[in-house]
Amino acid sequence: MRAMLLDAAQQPLRPVDLPTPKPATGQVLIAVRTCAICRTDLHVVDGELPRPKRPLVPGHQIVGTIVQLGAGVHGFVVGDRVGVPWLGFTCGVCGYCTSGRENLCDEARFTGYQLDGGYAEQCVADARFCFHLPSGYDDVQAAPLLCAGAIGYRSLKLAGDGARIGLYGFGAAAHLIAQIARSQGREVFAFTRPGDDEGQRFARELGVTWAGGSNEAPPVSLDAALVFAPVGALVPAALRVVHKAGVVVCAGIHMSDIPQFPYRWLWGERMIRSVANLTREDAKDLLALAARVPLRVEATRYPLTQANQALASLRAGQLHGSGVLEISPSP
């Protein structure tokens, strides 16, 4: 099978031919149709996350068709269209797993990080961590739901039920979460890179109340802010625009250091919290919601062989919405 392989940090992915993987007990073999790119992929490729599997096939927003079942698989049949997210394995028995917090499991393993992912024509995945996908989304549209959508949705839930929500970094996750928040009757305020007029125009197209640069203040104070951009300096900026008891949620798996800031910006029972990974419940809830609320998924398409170009575009902030690799054509 064709694949794009990461040999070492800060090196371009290398096109290779690899043996087709075999599904072990409890696993399924998937013919990959699409795989959305994610900023976490950049963190892996750029060496910002420790101890990845190497060599590694990246990619963790996988859409494909099951072509073979390993022993003991239940709930799927050959031919099913499925999605594979970031969370690929948990121990199932630790205190985190048994208390609904499997995203914090110390033995967790992640797709496209410790497990080979979807920048390939085929992949294997633990069937317990695969999901049926809503029929209203084609393969390109469905892929970003699996991380940008699901972890974004977890971030929105952890922000509470405030009526005014700020989104810092209006990319793959934010453009979906803006639509979900609006469907819940909330007002959304979008913060982009300063001077990103095109990004702000895109945000307004999706119905946000206000769009401006991350160096600007919105016209009203906010109940919560979600920081999707991996820029620690945005955390104090977000604290300054939420009112007392407001919540700032750091939604990325990696972020540059948060700079020192005056305590008065935090005072008033404001809160900073992080989001770590996702649970299977998050994915199920998001996919069920997406089946009810039609989401506009903005996606730039790339062939598998242009994975390096897709990552470069994401790194440069040139994508509005998601980038998606098309690995094999839909039937």
Mean pLDDT by 10 residues, the chain (331 residues): 94 96 98 97 94 95 98 97 98 98 98 98 98 97 97 96 97 97 98 95 97 97 97 98 98 94 97 96 97 96 97 92 84 46
- Rounded Cα–Cα distance for residues 196 and 179 (Å): 20
* Main-chain phi, psi angles of 86, to 5 degrees: -60, -50
- In angstroms, rounded to a whole number, what is the distance separating the alpha carbons of residues 308 and 286? 29
Is the backbone peptide bond immediately before 21 cis, with ω within 30 degrees of 0?
no
Question: Mind spelling out the 3-state secondary structure of the chain?
Answer: CEEEEECCCCCCCEEEECCCCCCCCCEEEEEEEEEECCHHHHHHHCCCCCCCCCCECCCCCEEEEEEEECCCCCCCCCCCEEEECCEEECCCCCCCHHHCCHHHCCCCEEECCCECCCCECEEEEEHHHCEECCCCCCHHHHHHHHCHHHHHHHHHHHCCCCCEEEEECCCHHHHHHHHHHHHCCCEEEEEECCCCHHHHHHHHHCCCCEEEECCCCCCCCEEEEEECCCCCCHHHHHHCCEEEEEEEEECCCCCCCCCCCCHHHCCCCCEEEECCCCCHHHHHHHHHHHHHCCCCCCEEEEEHHHHHHHHHHHHCCCCCCEEEEECCCCC
How large is the angle between the packed helices 197-205 and 172-183, nearest 10 degrees? 30
Q: Give phi and psi for 77, each to the nearest 5.
A: -130, 160
Q: Which residues contact 322 (CB under 8 A, 6 or more apart)?
A: 36, 37, 143, 144, 148, 171, 172, 297, 298, 299, 300
The pLDDT value recorded for residue 331 is 46
Rg of the Cα atoms in the chain? 19
Strands 322-326 and 299-303: parallel
The residues spanned by each domain of the chain are: 2-144+278-326, 150-274
In CATH terms, are 2-144+278-326 and 150-274 the same topology? no
- Dihedrals phi, psi of 51, to nearest 5 degrees: 55, 50
Selected from 3.40.50.720, 3.30.470.30, 3.30.200.20, 3.40.190.10, the CATH number assigned to the domain covering 150-274 reads 3.40.50.720
> What contacts 326, CB < 8 A, 6 or more positions away?
33, 34, 139, 140, 301, 302, 303, 304
**Cβ proximity of 58 and 4 under 8 Å:** yes
pTM of the model: 0.94
In the prediction, which pLDDT does 329 show?
55
Residues 6+ away with beta carbon under 8 Å from 256: 230, 231, 232, 233
108, 85 Cβ separation under 8 angstroms: no
- 306 is written with which tokens? 């242009």
> Looking at domain 2-144+278-326, does it have CATH number 1.10.3720.10?
no
